[in-house]
């Protein structure tokens, strides 16, 4: 079975792009250049040893057997033994060197691309699809791993073999080489054609495999619906269609390859026939020796095979090139939110001032504009407004998850863009809507907020928001793996972890995005209590979805259609009789309707 | 008849080997495989003759007096035969192996689709997917080798005979290293497999870090935790490098050895044979024949070794496949299905009766424990209960996803188990909590229960479900593609399509299982209107937890402890029953949104198709294209 690698036509690199990718890779491989040079040297020597065998046999025949000289024959044998032993060790070494360089290169690539990815702004992550980013770091790099593990070696040595075999044959006998060269172009042309056609066929197979798998997945995960509607026969019929088309795709690719491989086989044998005929005639004429003809018979394989290997590896190399280009593309993306040179630390306390801020995700499509407001030290500000009005965006700007398109956000008189990222994340902490868990223990999940925190500090921060006992009650305490328990860690508990993370940082400003969905009754009270403890003595900006949260805020900012519509306390805004008053009234009604317990 | 619904009817590991399944499959492909083997043998015979022809060409043509052209032409003709037969062998080998794979995949799919829901509750989608993808690939990789391997065996024997009759001692010396090629190839194949799997496992671990970082980017950014994640990735990247270098070590141990082993034979031929020629005991042509024969056998030896290893993996894969195939569905049609009473004009149909129903997913924990309820034809009932009280189980039993452990469920007076499954499921239309839409047009998604339904019926159903207006506004109207890679609809729109789908076949009973739970509360009223319309005059069972939805039903059943705790109208119960109020309040809090995610094709391929193709490593060295 051959590797089935295909490269989409639009991904194929042109000459300039190839040059660029190569140059870039050579730069990137700086730490491994020595290893790569040694590996190349080893491949060259190894390739030479594969050619040495037939030459020695030919030498033994011409100078030993033909001249009745047993000593020369023994020398040829001894030489062959020496070359074989050398070939073995060189082959082992070249594996070691190529892999050391290749795996080191991939390691660096993984680490560098990931580090660069992490420097990108949140807006970047909003724009790019998770799946695409993950596949850059996985599938794209893995496709290169395959190449490095064995393909590269083959590619280089096949290329060298063609050149070296041709040179050697020419030295042995130019007449016979010319004869071989009659067949050679046929193989080259066929190989180029095969490479193109098989690539197209593989692309088609790959696409059909995807369709087939989707149908399979749809059938299995939708089995309840399918059975509920007694749709088994119809679904089976549809699956058969994708299955049949996949089969056709496979056969198409076999059709492409079968005659190509047959041709390679045929040419190899025909070249032998030619050697026996023409070579024999030349021997009769005395212009070449029998040993040379033998060498040609044995060496011709070394001329044709590499061409066929090159054509098969070509797609793999091309797709690796395409993958590299995409990865370098990520490395070239300039982070939108980055630390300035000479950035200063934020003061420990201060007002948060939003000054005439505007923001657009995409040029020309305004999300927020003309927003100006000041949040005092220790003040609690609730942001309310309909979905999509821009309140979450405003919260993100106030914590520099985005940078404003114009205007500024400052803390304690320092523009957030002039501050060090470290001090910014220490002063201003964002607690996201849902408690996202990373695999690892509860402790790991907490210390992500402050890796330097001691165990005591972690315990203290849990105690500060009153949830220490809750987590200590877990079977392994704070060392409980969250993923193993994952499904059992309730939404409320996840929220508690999110809050504890914030407590561990002990920031001056908290930016909270309140969860829209309700929590399990068991932890709701606890979460509410934790929230309150966390928020006391801090400046708080909360994107509010519940009336109770809004009620507890000092001031309320109503964000509507990308602008600040109303700003004031609950009573002021109700008295104003505007948007907030209407919203508040609607809320009251809804509370009563959907939750009788709260109403009573 | 009274089967237990909970047990997965997993037959104990069947005693006969998975090879019987394979033999059955191969028997279906008999003709093509035999043809493949015949052309393969033809190819092998032609190929085997080449060293002898070279020898004759040299001894009789070059050194002797026979015309050179004759030998040249004979070798050329053999070249044609080799090429043609090789092409045909490839063709047959691939066709038959792909067919085997294709047929088995279809069988698996059909089987899985008809297995009872209880089986699917326990089976993981991912595992079933691998059965039908990577496991079948392993099998295909083995079947495709059959003609080649038989040809190789033939070559081996033929050359052995040719050389032994020509010069037994030299033959033994020349061929002695070749069995080691076979052994090494096989050992390599077995050793590299776990190493490659280890690399894939580490790659998956790294993918997890990347996935977590990207989807948890708000946490990472919010706390400036980039360094923490970077160090996690760093250590994973180091681990990948370590295991990859481990695999490289295995390669460096085996591949060079496999490469040079035949050289030992070639050296022996030159040393021993050379002196024999000097002593006049054999001809130069014979020497070269031996030389070419050794070269010719390298690939057959490697292939046979690889096939043995492939065969072992195929056996493991096949056993897993057979495990699925030998599982029988616990819910099947009765031997003699009864007919439901005909729908006569004016007569209301769809009376549902639960009689002392006992059921549990596992034996110790009953979910329904003496559930008794009568739902009159044409009336609507809301079933309300705390999370885990068994509300949704009622739906599943009604659809006969499971069979009751004791008691009975009747539809229009007939026990469900006496009816054909198809009839039961045609007469009961469901709107599930998670509206799974398929990758197909809007029209096809609505016509799910009856693919032959005409446009008129589809539009009628859509109108009733209040979906017609927004469908008309979709870019392609009813032919808009939905689902994965298709147009994405809002939760409410999806629900209305699901309602249209449920009523298209005009079922006797409509079940709305938590149909509004995935909908934004502010949009709930849209669905509620649609529901009210379709419920009119039709037996309807509503499983709901939002008061507004519950109130749509004529009456309410409060479910507690697996039995009916109270029955009355929503207002009655709200006023009189404290337990009812408690349950409603708790449900309002647990209001959660569940979304089923279907990964895209590229992701699927990454997960299920990337089986390590380690034999490819060996065959890359191969002359003339492997199989």
* 3-state DSSP assignment of residue B484: coil
> What is the maximal distance between C-alpha atoms in chain A?
120
B-chain CB neighbours of A111 within 8 Å are 230, 233-234, 237
Residue B418 is predicted with a pLDDT of 94
- Among A545, A484, A381, A81, smallest CA distance to B520 is for A545
Q: How far is B355 from chain A (nearest CA, A)?
A: 22
What per-residue confidence (pLDDT) applies to A365? 80
Which residues in A112-138 are b (16+ Cβ under 10 Å) and which e?
Answer: ebbbbbbbbbbbbbeebeeeebbbbbb
Give the mutation candidate from B60, B274, B595, B616 for the A interface (greatest A CB count, under 10 A): B274
Residue B521: predicted pLDDT: 57
Q: Picking from A140-154, A156-170, A227-241, B141-155, which range would have the lowest pLDDT averaged per residue? A: A140-154
- B201 shares contact with chain A (CB less than 8 Å): no
Q: What is the mean pLDDT of chain A?
A: 85
Torsion angle, CA of B176/B182/B185/B190, rounded to 10 degrees? -130
* Confidence at residue B5, expressed as pLDDT on a 0 to 100 scale: 35
Interface with B, mutate which of A84, A154, A227 (most B CBs under 10 A)? A227
B148-182 pLDDT per residue, tens: 999 999 999 999 999 999 889 999 988 888 888 88
Q: What's the average model confidence in pLDDT over A62-67? A: 87
**What is the C-alpha to C-alpha distance for residues A96 and A158, in angstroms, rounded to an integer?**
19
Q: Do B90 and A258 touch (CB under 8 A)?
A: yes
Asked if A264 and A304 touch (Cβ cutoff 8 Å), the reply is: yes
Pairwise CA distance, residues A316 & A152, whole Å: 9
The residue length of chain A stands at 600
Contact A107 B83 (CB under 8 A): no
In contact, A518 and A526? CB cutoff 8 Å: no
Q: Out of B61, B238, B589, whose CB is closest to A524?
A: B589
CA distance B583 to B503: 30
pLDDT at A5: 65
Q: What is the distance between the alpha carbons of residues B240 and B204, in angstroms, rounded to a whole number?
A: 10
Size of interface A-B (CB pairs under 8 A): 480
In the structure encoding, which two tokens stand for residue B395, read together? 């739906």
Flag whether residue A75 sits within 8 Å of chain B, measured between CB atoms: no
pLDDT of B597 reads: 36
Which of B78, B267, B280, B599 to mutate to test binding with chain A, by most A CBs within 10 Å of its CB?
Answer: B267
Ranges under pLDDT 70 in chain B? 1-17, 387-388, 483-486, 515-524, 586-627
- Answering whether pTM is above 0.90, one says no
How far from B546 is each of A532, B529, B531, B560, CA to CA, in Å? Answer: 29, 14, 13, 18
Give pLDDT, residue B612. 45
For A476-510, the pLDDT digits (tens) are 888 888 764 344 577 778 888 888 998 998 899 99
B481 - beta bridge partners? Answer: B441
Of A229, A265, A272, the CB nearest to B83: A265
pLDDT band of A196, cuts 50, 70, 90: confident
Shortest alpha-carbon distance between residue A39 and chain B (Å): 14
Half-sphere exposure of A481 (CA within 13 A, CB side): 5
CA atoms within 13 A on the CB side of B64: 15
Positive or negative: CA dihedral B439, B443, B449, B451:
negative
Residue A589: per-residue pLDDT:
63
The token pair at B153 is 């065996």
DSSP B123-135: S-HHHHHHIIIII
**Does the pLDDT at position A362 exceed 70?**
yes
Question: What would the two tokens of residue A517 be?
Answer: 């969905």
Distance CA A297, CA A274 (A): 9
B380 - beta bridge partners? Answer: B540
**Is B44 in the A-facing interface, judged by CB distances under 8 Å?**
no
- Quote the ipTM score: 0.81
Which among B150, B180, B146 has a CA at the least distance from the CA of B294?
B180
Chain A contacts in chain B segment 322-381 (CB below 8 A):
none
Q: Strand, coil or helix: what is A411?
A: strand
- Residue A229 and residue B68: Cβ atoms within 8 Å? no
B109/A contact by beta carbon, under 8 A = yes
Q: Within 10 A of A473 (CB to CB), how many other CB atoms are there?
A: 9
User: Chain B contact for A192, CB < 8 A?
Assistant: no
pLDDT at A84: 93
Write down the pLDDT at residue A41: 93
* Residue B60 contacts A, CB cutoff 8 Å: no
B172 touches chain A (CB under 8 A): no
CA–CA distance, B328 with B114 (Å, rounded to integer)? 9
Distance from CA of B571 to the nearest CA of A (A): 13
The stretches of A139-231 forming alpha helices (DSSP H) are: 141-146, 152-172, 174-221, 223-228
* Of A523 and A527, more confident: A527
Q: Which residue of A lies nearest to B107 if distances are taken between CA atoms?
A: A236
């Amino acid at each position: 079975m051959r590797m089935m690698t295909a490269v989409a036509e639009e991904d194929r690199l042109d000459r300039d792009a190839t040059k660029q990718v190569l140059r870039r890779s050579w730069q990137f491989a700086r730490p491994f250049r020595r290893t790569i040079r040694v590996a190349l040297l080893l491949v060259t020597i190894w390739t030479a040893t594969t050619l040495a065998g037939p030459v020695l046999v030919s030498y033994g025949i011409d100078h030993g057997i033909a001249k009745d000289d047993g000593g020369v024959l023994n020398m040829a044998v001894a030489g062959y033994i020496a070359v074989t032993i050398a070939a073995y060790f060189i082959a082992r070494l070249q594996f070691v060197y190529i892999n050391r360089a290749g795996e080191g290169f991939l390691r660096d690539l993984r680490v560098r691309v990931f580090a660069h990815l992490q420097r990108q702004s949140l807006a970047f992550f909003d724009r790019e699809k998770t799946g695409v980013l993950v596949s850059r770091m996985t599938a794209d790099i893995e496709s290169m791993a395959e190449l490095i593990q064995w393909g590269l070696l083959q590619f280089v040595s096949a290329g060298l073999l063609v050149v070296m075999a041709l040179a050697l044959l020419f030295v042995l006998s130019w007449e016979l080489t010319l004869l071989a060269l009659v067949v050679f172009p046929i193989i080259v042309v066929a190989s180029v054609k095969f490479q193109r056609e098989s690539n197209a066929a593989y692309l088609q197979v790959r696409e059909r495999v995807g369709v087939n798998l989707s149908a399979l997945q749809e059938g299995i995960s939708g089995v309840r619906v399918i059975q509920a509607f007694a749709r088994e026969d119809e679904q089976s019929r549809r699956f058969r269609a994708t299955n049949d088309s996949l089969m056709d795709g496979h056969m198409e690719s076999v059709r492409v390859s079968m005659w190509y491989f047959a041709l390679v086989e045929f040419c190899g044998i025909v070249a032998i026939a030619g050697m026996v005929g023409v070579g024999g005639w030349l021997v009769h004429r005395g212009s070449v020796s029998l040993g040379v003809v033998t060498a040609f018979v044995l060496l011709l394989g070394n001329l044709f095979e590499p061409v066929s290997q090159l054509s098969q590896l070509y797609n793999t190399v091309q797709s690796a090139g395409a993958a590299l280009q995409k990865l370098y593309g990520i490395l070239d993306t300039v982070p939108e939110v980055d630390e300035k040179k000479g950035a200063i630390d934020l003061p420990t306390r201060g007002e948060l001032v939003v000054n005439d801020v505007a923001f657009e995700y995409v040029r020309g499509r305004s999300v927020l504009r003309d927003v100006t407001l000041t949040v005092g030290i220790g003040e609690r500000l609730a942001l309310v407004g309909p979905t999509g009005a821009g309140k979450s965006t405003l919260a993100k700007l106030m914590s520099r998850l985005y940078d404003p398109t114009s205007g500024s956000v400052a803390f304690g008189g320092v523009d957030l863009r002039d501050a060090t990222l470290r001090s910014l994340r220490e002063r201003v902490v964002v607690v996201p809507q849902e408690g996202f868990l990373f695999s690892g223990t509860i402790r790991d999940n907490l210390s992500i907020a402050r890796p330097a925190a001691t165990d005591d500090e972690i315990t203290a921060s849990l105690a500060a928001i009153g949830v220490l006992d809750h987590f200590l009650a877990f079977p392994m305490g704070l060392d409980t793996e969250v993923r193993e328990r994952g499904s059992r860690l309730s939404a409320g508990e996840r929220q508690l972890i999110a809050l504890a993370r914030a407590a561990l940082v002990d920031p001056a400003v908290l930016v909270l995005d309140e969860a829209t969905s309700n929590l399990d009754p068991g932890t709701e009270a606890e979460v509410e209590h934790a929230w309150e403890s966390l928020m006391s003595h801090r400046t708080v900006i909360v994107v509010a979805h519940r009336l109770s949260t809004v009620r507890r805020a000092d001031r309320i900012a109503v964000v509507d259609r990308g602008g600040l519509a109303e700003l004031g306390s609950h009573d002021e805004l109700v008295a104003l009789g505007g948007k907030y008053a209407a919203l508040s009234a609607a809320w009251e009604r809804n509370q009563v309707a959907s939750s009788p317990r709260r109403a009573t | 008849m009274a089967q237990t619904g909970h047990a997965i009817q997993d037959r104990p590991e069947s005693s006969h080997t998975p090879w019987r399944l394979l033999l059955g499959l191969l028997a279906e492909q008999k003709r093509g495989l035999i043809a493949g083997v015949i052309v393969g043998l033809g190819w092998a015979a032609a190929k085997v003759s080449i060293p002898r022809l070279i020898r004759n060409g040299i001894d009789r043509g070059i050194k002797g007096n026979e015309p050179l052209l004759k030998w040249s032409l004979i070798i050329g003709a053999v070249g044609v035969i080799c090429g043609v037969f090789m092409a045909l062998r490839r063709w047959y080998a691939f066709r038959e192996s792909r067919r085997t794979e294709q047929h088995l995949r279809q069988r698996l799919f059909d089987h899985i689709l008809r297995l009872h829901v209880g089986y699917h509750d326990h089976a993981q989608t991912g595992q079933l997917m691998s059965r039908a993808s990577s496991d079948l690939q392993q099998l295909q990789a083995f079947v495709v080798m059959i003609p080649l391997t038989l040809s190789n065996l033939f070559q081996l024997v033929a050359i052995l005979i040719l050389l032994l009759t020509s010069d037994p001692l030299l033959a033994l010396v020349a061929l002695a290293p070749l069995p080691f090629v076979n052994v090494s190839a096989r050992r390599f194949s077995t050793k590299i497999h776990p190493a490659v799997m280890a690399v894939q496992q580490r790659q998956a671990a790294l993918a997890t870090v990347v996935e977590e970082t990207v989807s948890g980017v708000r946490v990472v950014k919010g706390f400036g935790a980039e360094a923490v994640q970077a160090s996690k990735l760093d250590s994973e990247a180091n681990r990948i490098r370590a295991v990859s270098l481990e695999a490289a070590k295995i390669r460096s141990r085996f591949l060079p050895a496999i490469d040079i082993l035949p050289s030992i034979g070639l050296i022996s031929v030159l040393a021993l044979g050379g002196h024999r020629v000097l002593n006049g005991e054999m001809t130069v042509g014979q020497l070269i024949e031996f030389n070419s024969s050794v070269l010719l056998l390298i690939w057959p030896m490697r292939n046979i070794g690889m096939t043995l290893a492939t065969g072992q993996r195929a056996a493991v894969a096949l056993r897993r496949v057979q495990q699925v195939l030998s599982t029988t569905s616990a819910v099947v049609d009765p031997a003699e299905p009864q007919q439901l009473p005909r729908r006569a004009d004016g007569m209301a149909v769809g009376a549902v009766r639960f009689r002392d129903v006992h059921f549990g997913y596992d034996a110790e924990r009953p979910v329904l424990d003496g559930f008794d309820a009568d739902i009159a034809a044409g009336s609507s009932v809301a079933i309300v209960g705390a999370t885990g009280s068994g509300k949704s189980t009622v739906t599943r039993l009604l659809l006969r996803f499971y069979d009751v452990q004791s008691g009975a469920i009747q539809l229009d007076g007939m026990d469900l188990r006496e009816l054909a499954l198809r009839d039961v499921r045609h007469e009961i239309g469901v709107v599930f909590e998670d509206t799974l839409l398929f990758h197909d047009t809007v029209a096809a998604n609505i016509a799910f229960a009856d693919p032959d339904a005409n446009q008129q019926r589809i539009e009628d159903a859509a109108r009733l479900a209040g979906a017609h207006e927004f469908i008309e506004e979709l870019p392609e109207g009813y032919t808009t593609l939905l689902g994965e890679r298709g147009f994405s609809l809002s939760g409410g729109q999806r629900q209305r399509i699901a309602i249209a789908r449920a009523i298209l076949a005009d079922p006797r009973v409509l079940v709305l299982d938590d149909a509004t739970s995935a909908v934004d509360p502010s949009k709930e009223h849209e669905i509620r209107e649609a529901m009210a319309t379709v419920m009119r005059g039709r037996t309807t069972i509503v499983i709901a937890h939002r008061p507004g939805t519950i109130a749509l039903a004529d009456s309410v059943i409060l479910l507690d402890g697996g039995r009916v705790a109270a029955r009355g109208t929503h207002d009655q119960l709200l006023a009189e029953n404290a337990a009812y109020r408690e349950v409603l309040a708790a449900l309002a809090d647990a209001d959660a949104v569940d979304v089923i995610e279907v990964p895209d094709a590229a992701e699927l391929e990454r997960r299920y198709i990337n089986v390590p193709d380690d034999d490819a490593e060996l065959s890359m060295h191969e002359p003339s294209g492997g199989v």
